[in-house]
């Protein structure tokens, strides 16, 4: 093999998203065709057999880039020397469970995982949280990894929301998804998120707002479509998938996680993307919150950099603030549990 393998840890590897992730990572879709990988699959005891079965199948693929696979239910083994952690396994909301119960259950998962990453991961480790509530789970993991690992090495996945927004626009504008740049998801990976096209452009140089007005008749029709169709459809797409499929998104979530890590590691190309990253106060977001913002990466050791200085109108600002308020409430609920 060309170079030293990169250790990648996937938690919840025996679950649905885990199964959709493993084979693509081993095939080189995440880190490119030149970087061999060593996979560490973390599960809880109930999920071990499923993860072990996936490991057998990985062996049967004989991927040239796959150095080795280890399945474990031990945190320190899973994160030992890891450079990339995909934190997928989480406690789903059960019957009668309140949001506070869910936050408490997940604090019990992401606290110890963050601490283990702080203790034994590689110096260059970066972790992305997929398991919900993703932003606040990332906040908990980052706080638990301190002071060994800087908080900004942790992020949460809103690339799926970003891709959903691009998919909706491509459909209505009858253009390729690759022709659309600079869409933004602001806020939380929840129904309060604000999918924003105010800065988005098309490959032919038009703004998305201009193209929508042409397509739908005029500016008012474009604004009505954004308010009544686009924003709620993107923000509630997770629920729509659950209703139609009978369980939450899997392949699209795994794809988004792979794109999130790939762009962070190798660099973004045309325009920016969206990721939930640790705020240093940009756009008035309280410092330390893990909030979806527009980001770019140059593929260097700084990871994602926040695009600053974009303007909001009053309606956009109100939507963004509502989502940030929800993140503040989640953080405060976790603080009340004594976790942060
Ligand atoms: P799943 O139930 O199929 O798999 C979850 C796996 O995690 C299970 O195998 C379980 O045993 C394991 N697990 C639970 N606790 C664990 C722990 N402490 N350590 C290690 N493993 C643990 O669920 P899924 O469909 O793979 O979804 C996983 C998570 O991703 C859910 O929280 C879901 O809501 C979330 N999700 C997020 C996005 C996003 O865009 N951020 C999109 C889709 C799904
Ligand atoms: C999604 O956006 O598809 C998921 O986060 C939905 C969910 O609740 O698992």
CA–CA gap between residue 241 and residue 305 (Å, rounded): 31
CATH of 6-156, one of 3.40.50.800, 3.40.720.10, 1.20.140.10, 3.40.50.720: 3.40.50.720
93 Cα nearest atom in ligand 2: 8
Label residue 68 exposed, middle or buried (CB < 10 Å: 0-12, 13-18, 19+): middle
Query: Residues 86-142: pLDDT tens digits?
Result: 999 998 777 777 777 888 999 999 999 999 999 999 999 999 999 999 999 999 999
Question: Residue 178: what pLDDT?
Answer: 97
Query: Residues 255-292: pLDDT tens digits?
Result: 999 999 999 999 998 899 999 999 999 999 999 999 99
Q: pLDDT tens string for the chain (340 positions)?
A: 558 999 999 999 999 999 999 999 999 999 999 999 999 999 999 999 999 999 999 999 999 999 999 999 999 999 999 999 999 999 877 777 777 788 899 999 999 999 999 999 999 999 999 999 999 999 999 999 999 999 999 999 999 999 999 999 999 999 999 999 999 999 999 999 999 999 999 999 999 999 999 999 999 999 999 999 999 999 999 999 999 999 999 999 999 999 999 999 999 988 999 999 999 999 999 999 999 999 999 999 999 999 999 999 999 999 999 999 999 999 999 999 888 8
Residue nearest to atom 1 of ligand 2 (CA): 238
Question: Residue 2: what pLDDT?
Answer: 53
The DSSP call for residue 92 is: P
Which among 15, 90, 242 is the best mutation to test ligand 2's pocket, defined by most ligand atoms within 8 Å of the CB? 242
Domains of the chain, residue spans = 6-156, 159-334
Q: Is the CB of 46 under 6 A from ligand 1?
A: yes
Please tell me whether 168 is known to bind a ligand. no
Inter-residue contact 202 to 211 (CB < 8 Å): yes
239 Cα nearest atom in ligand 2: 6
Under CATH, what is the fold of the domain 159-334?
L-2-Hydroxyisocaproate Dehydrogenase; Chain A, domain 2 (3.90.110)
Question: Residue 97: what pLDDT?
Answer: 77
Please tell me whether 188 is known to bind a ligand. no
User: Would you list the DSSP string of 89-152?
Assistant: --PPPPTT--HHHHHHHHHHHHHHHHHHHHHHS-TT-EEEE-SSSHHHHHHHHHHHHTTTS-GG
């Amino acid at each position: 093999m060309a170079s030293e393998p990169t250790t990648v840890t996937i938690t919840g590897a025996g679950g649905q998203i885990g199964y959709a992730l493993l084979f693509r990572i081993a095939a080189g879709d995440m880190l490119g065709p030149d970087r061999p990988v060593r996979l560490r699959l973390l599960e809880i005891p109930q999920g071990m057999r499923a993860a072990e079965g996936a490991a057998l199948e990985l062996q049967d693929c004989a991927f040239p880039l796959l150095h080795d696979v280890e399945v474990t239910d031990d945190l320190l083994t899973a994160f030992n020397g890891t450079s990339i952690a995909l934190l997928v396994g989480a406690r789903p909301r059960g019957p009668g469970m309140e949001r506070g119960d869910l936050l408490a259950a997940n604090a019990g998962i992401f606290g110890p995982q963050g601490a283990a990453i702080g203790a034994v991961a590689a110096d260059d480790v970066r972790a992305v949280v997929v398991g919900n509530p993703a932003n606040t789970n990332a906040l908990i993991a980052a706080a638990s990894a301190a002071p060994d690992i800087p908080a900004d090495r942790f992020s949460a996945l809103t690339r799926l929301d970003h891709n959903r927004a691009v998919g909706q626009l491509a459909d209505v504008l009858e253009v390729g998804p690759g022709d659309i740049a600079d869409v933004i998801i602001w806020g939380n990976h929840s129904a309060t998120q604000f999918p924003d096209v105010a800065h988005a452009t098309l490959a032919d140089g038009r703004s998305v707002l201009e193209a929508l007005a042409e397509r739908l008749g005029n500016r008012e029709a474009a604004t009505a479509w954004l308010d009544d169709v686009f924003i709620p459809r993107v923000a509630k797409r997770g629920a729509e998938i659950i209703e139609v499929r009978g369980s939450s998104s899997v392949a699209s979530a795994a794809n988004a996680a792979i794109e999130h890590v790939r762009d962070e590691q190798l660099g973004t190309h045309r325009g920016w993307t969206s990721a939930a990253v640790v705020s240093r106060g940009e756009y008035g977001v309280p410092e330390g919150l893990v909030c979806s913002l527009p980001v770019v990466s140059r593929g260097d050791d700084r990871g994602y950099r926040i695009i600053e200085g974009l303007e909001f109108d009053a309606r956009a600002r109100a939507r963004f603030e509502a989502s940030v308020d929800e993140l503040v409430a989640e953080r405060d609920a976790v603080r009340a549990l004594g976790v942060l």
